[in-house]
Structure 1
């Protein structure tokens, strides 16, 4: 019976999928599979032929294999490896090279024979690449083929660098990279313009010959493409869908990457559900959006025809369910994000008392506050609350070099105008000019350059916060140490990061904390900053009574927005308030037009913010609720 139930739940899935609670557990299980293959081969005195992948996804797998080698004696002397791909052209010593990646994450830490390592050669001339690719294929074939190929997946659906349009029988070859793939790699190369246009990759046909294929994916950023690969039609537009044709493939995912699969996202279509309130709210809003009706117009037939008959029977009639969910959605809307003084707050998202609240808005980067919740920020100040803003990082990696010279030239001219000696400033300026002239992509800036970039972001943040109405003494710059590496790769969180946050929280003792809950941030800073806040609050909870009355609200907006059913507080913005928010964002001039790290969205930050806020308001309008110009959305975190 359990087997039949599982088959019913997974009936939309066209290949085997195993889901783990988190990526750490998933990575350990992949590593165990690889280790078992290696040891099984060792007992037979045979070589294990592995196809290996690069990128962020397999790092945890390689770390576990290294641990097993050092702590459990796992030997790699019988292992032969073939890497999937390499950028072209690419020097093996370059920081972005997959040779460097594999050495740093695996090969330098295990006992593999270096002669058994094979990685596509990015130093060849184009005339030599064709022969190299033929020989690469021949080497794999001569060893009896790949025993196991591990894969990640790109947002284009590529496996290896087999981009949309790749043939299912393709072999190792040189390819042109999709524009989206190059955009995703831009941060590693210090800008998209530095990302190679081409790569050498194993073909889909080569991958298919492996006796076992494991595709790994972690976190919600991969959820949409995983759904296409697992449940979509086979198409050259999504090369990973070709894996549906293999009898030897398994997708190993964490819960985030699996979250868009039907059995997790729309479970009522495949099984009977335990109708918690949040699932009921999600289902009814989904139904309204699917049939394009306001909530109060949904009928019994709508429920029955869309997999929700069980809900209608257990908690119906349908109209009663409609009224319940309509009221819940309506009660999220408030023009008083700090609570409405003297009002009945039983149906409001925030408490009425205290009438004047102490508030801290934590901003991971120096512009997240106004981009993601600028309208609410301004409204909290306008309504008389004691608002503080805390900029958690300096943001000094996200400023153009040209801006540094522009500000330095301004400082030199200003000093000259007041008769100050400019000799030291001119010397530093000259050093900067010489440094920038030979600077390599992603090269660490000098301390002086980092300082100026940090000053630029700081003055912009002050300007934005002042525009929102904040007093200077309520503007805090934390410069958390984990961020201050001068590189895109940051340090791990330290005790000092948490202590700085604890100290600020103890100083203010807020009743409200706003923090970035946008964990789809492609650079990872948001989730790191959120976890630091959480660690600080949990530490204080044991000793400080005020923490019991402190509510933590998560905001989004810079990258993605909360789903409508998740929203617990929706703050409507008038057309005038939208303009005020836009003006606050404009104070961040270094991030305007084209920011250094724009992420996957080519729109300017102020455009993204306005579009997402209008989309949220439109969603509420279509559900039959009041029509607003825009809305900022929040979810309360129960820590």
Structure 2
């Protein structure tokens, strides 16, 4: 059978794409390209003109440039920079300004001349902006034009702040920000209401003038918009698609950001595949969804007409493939998440023995346990397992300020009612109120406020875990130090977090560990907490035999679910169990209605969880399985010693 070349594999892609294993290797590639330009221009006695971006995406690029300056003598004395954009209005001394960002990550650490730094001015009067933007364009021209322009991409498809509707020939100007863009920036500003509604940005036409353009994107959160930018036709709906017109552009992606491109997501559509069991499962599920037919009803024509003829030739007939995949998916469904005692467990996701297991649920925030796996949590307790829950962080940033005051007011009134002295409480209350009255957006809280917010979340977690059936001795509040340090440190050390986690694991020696496996946001608490658990378990595996009988199961949060082909254990929930899970979530009253950090989903957490669990059940039913009210899904982490 004819083998396709690389060009044919990428025929869906309308511009050049390079994919790297992770953002660190990709960032080094970009940084070294920038360094080559700087050094080449320096050797000719010329200035290198760089177009720079902000946000989390280029942070590692700047870190590598700083390292090269310090350790390899890379000089920025011949460098002129033009930043893409700035919020408007924005004071350059504000922590959220791009001036502060660039100083912090690059300019304060290299020998660039201050007069060679150009960043749009967010302090202008509105009637000054038009002329200022023309002068900004002229300064780029006078500098000789940009040698390279570094770009990120927003989830709206914006480059710079060129939101949907921007023209391909647009210049530097004042723009209105998309609501999703403001939502994505809300954490840095302490709430979307504090995010400016406008920005000054280079236009798409300005960007096109650069002699070289590199667009960078990391993590799965960017994968959907990357697919649209790379594979869809040019459209104002996705401004990044206009880059398809440039002959000098290159997309630099990590594997996660590239994961939805056709050659990675559905490779059978573009090339002959090596049909591993995992790829066959993914392909058959995709075919079932594509044809809207249950797995057992798929025919050879379905395979042949949807780019999967090779699978039938190599592994067929189609009926045998259908039966094999149907059985594998069926074996993921279990009502016994701790294993069914005395049963044949060769086709079950969990072991039958020991009949009573010690199960440890790690919850990054005080409500992730019940939101993400509340039904399974309750079922493990009901089925007699020794269940523990460990709340890894206090979650004290996710409480409204007015709620903190309300609880102290309650404490003052309660103390008065029983005749206790309230002078100390009233003094603390005044200190809190004075601080909160003057608090700036995203300003770290003082200790008294943080403590009260932490107490609120702790009591809610206690209520939720008790409702699930746990006694207090099985509820652990870890308060991992990295969470508090992270409020003032950029990359807090996690060694003491790992040691504390190891001590809890050693004490309990669990047969099952459940941890949040939501990696969509690499800067979020979930991924940090998971990596702490993983490192702790990996260290213990080297010396403690019990760890070889300890399985690590990943669950997902209220925003995302595992893909159907990834799921290795699916726990069905009855209508009554769905209501019990909802009641456990309701114990977290501070997170009900409108939480502090809702993300870009305005549904309440309990609604998101139920919708997600019902959608998982529907996906199973559409594939041809029994119809359940809802299902919670899990994926088992594979350690080196996992042989099955």
Q: Within 2, Cα distance between the matches of 1:3 and 1:108? A: 52
Write the mapping of 1:492-503 to structure 2, written as runs, cut at 5 A: 492-503=492-503
Partner of 1:278: 278
The answer on 1:404 being equivalent to 2:399 is: no
Per mean C-alpha deviation after superposition, the further-off stretch among 143-152 and 374-383 is: 143-152
- Contact in 2 for aligned 1:522/1:599 (Cα 8 Å): no
Write the mapping of 1:238-387 to structure 2, written as runs, cut at 5 A: 238-387=238-387
Q: Within 1, Cα distance between the matches of 2:493 and 2:107? A: 27
Partner of 2:593: 593
Corresponding residue SS for 1:484: helix
Corresponding residue SS for 2:306: coil
Corresponding residue SS for 2:387: strand
The alpha-carbon distance between structure 1 residues 171 and 195, as it changes in their structure 2 partners (threshold 3 A), is same
Q: Within 1, Cα distance between the matches of 2:177 and 2:157? A: 12
Deviations along 1:382-401, whole A, 9 cap, x unmatched?
A: 00000000000000111100
Measured after TM superposition, the shift of residue 494 of structure 1 is 2.2
- Contact in 1 for aligned 2:10/2:263 (Cα 8 Å): yes
Partner of 1:472: 472
Corresponding residue SS for 1:256: coil
- Contact in 2 for aligned 1:51/1:82 (Cα 8 Å): yes
Q: Within 2, Cα distance between the matches of 1:319 and 1:630? A: 29
Corresponding residue SS for 1:464: helix
Measured after TM superposition, the shift of residue 489 of structure 1 is 6.5
Partner of 2:642: none
**What is the number of equivalent residue pairs in this alignment?**
639
Q: Within 2, Cα distance between the matches of 1:475 and 1:135? A: 62
- Contact in 2 for aligned 1:483/1:490 (Cα 8 Å): no
Deviations along 1:351-385, whole A, 9 cap, x unmatched?
A: 00000000000000110000000000000000000
Partner of 2:133: 133
Measured after TM superposition, the shift of residue 486 of structure 1 is 7.1
Partner of 2:505: 505
Corresponding residue SS for 1:303: helix
- Contact in 2 for aligned 1:157/1:229 (Cα 8 Å): yes
Q: Within 1, Cα distance between the matches of 2:469 and 2:355? A: 19
Corresponding residue SS for 1:366: coil
Runs of 4+ residues deviating >3 angstroms: 488-491
Q: Within 2, Cα distance between the matches of 1:600 and 1:13? A: 28
Q: Within 2, Cα distance between the matches of 1:64 and 1:523? A: 19
Measured after TM superposition, the shift of residue 602 of structure 1 is 1.3
- TM superposition score normalised by structure 1: 0.99
- TM superposition score normalised by structure 2: 0.98
Partner of 1:149: 149
Q: Within 2, Cα distance between the matches of 1:572 and 1:596? A: 31
Write the mapping of 1:17-96 to structure 2, written as runs, cut at 5 A: 17-96=17-96
Q: Within 2, Cα distance between the matches of 1:382 and 1:562? A: 26
Partner of 1:556: 556
The answer on 1:617 being equivalent to 2:605 is: no
Partner of 1:190: 190
Deviations along 1:568-589, whole A, 9 cap, x unmatched?
A: 0000001110010011001111
The alpha-carbon distance between structure 1 residues 231 and 67, as it changes in their structure 2 partners (threshold 3 A), is same
Deviations along 1:290-327, whole A, 9 cap, x unmatched?
A: 00000000000111111111110111000000000000
Q: CA RMSD in A?
A: 1.2
The alpha-carbon distance between structure 1 residues 226 and 588, as it changes in their structure 2 partners (threshold 3 A), is same
Deviations along 1:531-562, whole A, 9 cap, x unmatched?
A: 10011111111111110000000001322100
- Contact in 2 for aligned 1:450/1:486 (Cα 8 Å): no
